[in-house]
């Protein structure tokens, strides 16, 4: 085995080094299965022996130089950003930051880069474009008025426990504070074992698509909100938009007693003779309703009076194992399970709508306000948490649809 690659593998426990007859192959740098490198055995690999691949960053860390090199790309020669350099005081430590020419280490890696997958959520850590710039004559000529550049951060990373991500987030904040057009450090989610959730479908439930759909006149504001919720890719925003539909409907909620009072008033044959008496009576009836502080009660009644447990049983059943366990998000928020066990879907009762409503409401409150009331519990904006939101998102969407259909 090449000694330089042995040192590289020691620095990066997750990478795989394969020795082939005429070359060395490196797999899984950054814990990224889309990226690999191939080096001829005659190649001098001293330049990469001290490197580490920070999993969440498009960057290299040189353990000897104590330098974090963010893989950027090209900058026009006239662009002043190529000359940008500054000191960054972070947790009591000075880090020197600047744009500069790419290192020999990065140049070697980029020229040796090989795609392992057809697509990459990480865009191959910017290496595909960089490889083409360095090796393809057409690209070299086309971008001859540009500088191939990296962004460097140098300092004592040991003093911050090698918290590359925390430092990068802080850099992003302050660089954008002073320059809205500043390049942004890319921070990817950690790889995790994504749980697969089933998306319940009415079509599958009835084994046929209806030949005639009886469309009711749905409020235009609700339809517009559904459209925005369906278009956005962000799971957290989807959740908030679907919840807004319930908030909108619950704002106009009137319980049965008040509705009956209004109907009786308009049907009274004396209404035109004594309109002021009837108006005062209605104002008194509605005063307590609209001054009611607890919107949560209105939300509960909006849900329980517009849908039944049967309307969402399919959504619960599709992910019954998920709903049979207490849920804890990264950040500390805990949600109680809905089902006693995975086999108790058929035992769901109308009263269980209240628990489902409470769980959905708690999730929404934390997404909007960043923390749970009276508790320092949050739902961190991570890919893992987005995955955990999905089953409740499916249930919330079905509830919002049924409320919208029945909303008058």
Pull the structure tokens for residue 49: 């022996």
Per-residue model confidence (pLDDT) at position 35: 97
Over residues 304-335, the pLDDT tens digits come to 999 999 999 999 999 999 999 999 999 999 99
For 218-222, the CB contacts below 8 A with 24+ separation are 218/404, 218/405, 218/407, 219/248, 219/404, 219/407, 221/248, 222/248, 222/249, 222/404, 222/407
Collapsed DSSP state (helix, strand, coil) of residue 295: helix
pLDDT band with cut points at 50, 70 and 90 for residue 285: low
Q: What residue spans define the domains of the chain?
A: 3-178, 202-278+292-406
First-to-last CA distance in the chain?
74
Cβ-Cβ contacts under 8 Å for 269 (sequence gap 6 or more): none
Alpha carbon distance 35, 45 (integer Å) = 18
What does the buried/exposed string (b/e) look like for 365-388 if buried means 16 or more CB atoms within 10 Å of the residue's CB? Answer: bbbeeeebeeeebbbeeebbbbbb
Over residues 206-238, the pLDDT tens digits come to 788 888 989 999 999 999 999 999 999 999 999
CA dist 334 → 330, 354, 381 (Å)? 9, 17, 15
CA dist 70 → 92, 153, 162 (Å)? 22, 8, 15
Which residue is listed with tokens 């066990």? 341
Per-residue model confidence (pLDDT) at position 111: 97
Over residues 57-98, the pLDDT tens digits come to 999 999 999 999 999 999 999 999 999 999 999 999 999 999
Over residues 49-68, the pLDDT tens digits come to 999 999 999 999 999 999 99
Q: What is the mean pLDDT of the chain?
A: 90
pLDDT band with cut points at 50, 70 and 90 for residue 278: low
pLDDT band with cut points at 50, 70 and 90 for residue 260: low
Per-residue model confidence (pLDDT) at position 383: 87
Question: Where is pLDDT greater, at 220 or 408?
Answer: 220
DSSP symbols for 23-90: EEEEE-GGG-TTEEEEEETTS--GGGTTEE--TTBSEEEETTTTEEEEEEEEEETT-GGGG-EEEEEE
Which residue is listed with tokens 């005063």? 287
Angle between helices 352-369 and 295-306 (to 10 degrees): 130
pLDDT band with cut points at 50, 70 and 90 for residue 369: confident
Pull the structure tokens for residue 330: 């990264």
User: pLDDT > 90: what percent of the chain?
Assistant: 75
Per-residue model confidence (pLDDT) at position 207: 80
Is the CB of residue 397 less than 8 Å from the CB of residue 296? Answer: no
Which residue is listed with tokens 């949560």? 296
Pull the structure tokens for residue 26: 């490196």
Over residues 107-151, the pLDDT tens digits come to 999 999 999 998 888 999 999 999 999 999 999 899 999 999 999
Per-residue model confidence (pLDDT) at position 251: 83
For 384-387, the CB contacts below 8 A with 24+ separation are 384/189, 384/190, 384/192, 384/330, 385/329, 385/330, 385/331, 386/235, 386/236, 387/192, 387/194, 387/195, 387/197
DSSP symbols for 226-257: HHHHHH---HHHHHHHHHHHHHHHHHT---HH
């Amino acid at each position: 085995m090449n000694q330089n690659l042995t040192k590289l593998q020691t620095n990066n426990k997750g990478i795989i080094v394969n020795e082939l007859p005429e070359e060395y192959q490196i797999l899984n740098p950054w814990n990224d299965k889309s990226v690999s490198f191939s080096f001829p055995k005659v190649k001098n690999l001293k330049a990469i022996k001290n490197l580490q691949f920070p999993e969440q960053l498009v960057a290299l860390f040189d353990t000897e130089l104590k330098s974090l090199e963010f893989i950027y790309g090209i900058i026009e020669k006239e662009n002043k950003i190529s000359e940008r350099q500054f000191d960054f005081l972070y947790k009591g430590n000075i880090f020197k930051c600047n744009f500069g020419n790419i290192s020999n280490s990065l140049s070697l890696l980029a020229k040796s880069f090989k795609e392992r997958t057809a697509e990459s959520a990480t865009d191959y850590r910017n290496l595909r474009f960089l490889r083409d710039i360095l090796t393809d004559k057409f690209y070299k000529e086309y971008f001859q008025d540009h500088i191939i550049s990296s962004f460097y951060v140098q300092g004592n990373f040991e003093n911050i426990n090698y918290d590359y991500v925390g430092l990068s987030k802080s850099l992003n904040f302050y660089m954008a504070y002073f320059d809205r057009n500043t390049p942004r450090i890319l921070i990817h989610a950690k790889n995790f074992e994504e749980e697969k959730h089933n998306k319940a479908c009415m079509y599958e439930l009835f084994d046929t698509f209806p030949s005639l759909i009886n469309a009711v006149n749905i409020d235009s504001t609700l339809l517009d909100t559904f459209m925005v919720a369906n278009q956005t890719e962000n799971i957290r925003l989807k959740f908030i938009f679907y919840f807004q539909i319930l908030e909108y409907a619950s704002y106009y909620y009137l319980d049965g007693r008040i509705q009956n009072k209004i109907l009786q008033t308009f049907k009274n044959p004396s209404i035109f003779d004594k309109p002021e008496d009837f108006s005062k009576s209605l104002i008194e009836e509605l005063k307590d309703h609209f001054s009611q502080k607890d919107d949560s009660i209105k939300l509960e009644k909006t849900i329980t009076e517009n849908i039944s447990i049967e309307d969402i049983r399919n959504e619960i059943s599709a992910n019954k194992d998920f709903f049979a366990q207490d849920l804890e998000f990264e950040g500390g928020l805990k949600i109680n399970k809905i089902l006693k066990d995975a086999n108790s879907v058929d035992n769901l009762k109308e009263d269980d709508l209240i628990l489902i409503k409470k769980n959905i409401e708690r999730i929404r409150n934390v997404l909007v306000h960043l923390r749970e009331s009276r508790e320092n519990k949050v739902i961190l904006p991570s890919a893992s948490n987005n995955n955990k939101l999905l089953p409740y998102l499916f249930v919330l969407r079905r509830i919002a649809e049924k409320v919208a259909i029945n909303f008058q």
